[in-house]
Amino acid sequence: MKNILMVIFALCLIGSVQATEVAVVDFRAALLQSNIGQEAAKEPKQKVAAMDARLKKEQEDLEASAQNLKRDELTLSEEEFKKRRQQLGERQNQIRALAANMQRQAKELEQQLIQSLTPKGEAALKSLIEERKLDLVLNRQLSLYANAGADITDELVKRINKDN
C-alpha cells in the first residue's frame, strides 16, 4: 500500500512538472539593428547631427565671448564689464536651455522611430515565439542572467530583415 501511494505521488509530481522555454531579447536594439531600423534612422541621425553641430557652434561662440571679456576686462569700465558679464551669463543659460531642448527632441525622434518600427518587430517576434515554442520572453535588461543561447536578439534582427 505504501509503495502504491509513493508511485501515485511520483506520477502526480512528474505530470505537474513541465519544461518552460524561456528566452530574452533586447527589442529596442533588434529594431535599431535591423535593415528597416537602419534605414529609418538615417533622417533622425542627420537631424541630431545638425543639432549637435549648432550646439557646438553656440558653445564655441560663447567661449570666444568669454575670452574676449577676459581680455578686455582691464580696459572696460566697471559698469560695461558687469553688463557684458551679465550678457555672457544670460547667453550661457540660453545655451543650456538649447542643449536640454535638443536632448528632448533627440529622445522624441528616437521614440517616434521605435514606435513606427514596433508593429513589424512585434510580428517578427511573434513568429519567432511560435517557431521556437517559447513559453516566456523577457526583456534582456530586466534579467539578471541569461546564457547566450537564451538571447534571441540576433535571431529577431534576422527575422525582421527577412520579413521586411
* Bridge partners (DSSP) listed for residue 151: 24
Q: What rounded mean pLDDT belongs to the chain?
A: 88
pLDDT tens string 90-113: 999 999 999 999 999 999 999 999
Distance CA 113, CA 125 (A): 18
pTM: 0.70
Cβ neighbourhood burial of 85 (10 Å; 0-12, 13-18, 19+): middle
Looking at residue 144, what DSSP letter applies?
S
Give the H or E element holding residue 141: none
pLDDT category, 8, cuts 50, 70, 90? low
* Residues 27-56 pLDDT 10s: 999 999 999 999 999 999 999 999 999 999
Selection from 163, 155, 152, 162 nearest residue 21 by Cα: 152
List, in sequence order, every residue forming a beta bridge with 137; answer none if it has no partner.
23
Residue pointed to by grid coordinates 517557431:
131
Q: What is the pLDDT of residue 16?
A: 43
Amino acid at residue number 100: A
Place of cell 557684458: 84
Instruction: Find the length of the chain.
Output: 164
- Would you give the distance in Å from CA 104 to the centre of its chain? 13
pLDDT tens digit sequence for 134-154: 999 999 888 888 888 899 999
Q: Is 134 helix (H, G, I), strand (E, B) or coil?
A: coil
User: Cα–Cα distance between 112 and 43 in angstroms, integer?
Assistant: 12
